[in-house]
Amino acid sequence: MAKQISFTEEFHYADDLAGITIPVILRYGDKSRRVQAKVDTGGDVCLFSREEGSFLGVPVEKGIPANLSSLGGNIEAFGHEIVIQTGELIFESVVYFAKYPNLPRNILGRQGWLRKLKLAVIDYDNLLYLSEYSS
Give me the number of domains the chain comprises: 1
Terminal Cα distance for the chain, rounded: 22
Domain membership of residue 4 (yes or no) is no
Domain membership of residue 96 (yes or no) is yes
DSSP-based three-state secondary structure for 27: strand
Answer yes or no: are the C-beta atoms of 56 and 31 closer than 8 Å. yes
Residue 82 belongs to domain spanning: 9-132
Note down pLDDT in tens along the chain; length 135 residues.
Answer: 999 999 999 999 999 988 999 999 999 999 999 999 999 999 999 999 999 999 999 999 999 999 998 767 789 999 999 999 999 999 999 999 999 999 999 999 999 999 999 999 999 999 999 999 987
Residue 105 identity? R
pTM: 0.93
* Distance of alpha carbon 16 from alpha carbon 42, whole angstroms: 18
Q: Report the run of H or E that residue 39 belongs to, with start and end.
A: strand 31-39
Report the CATH number at residue 47.
2.40.70.10
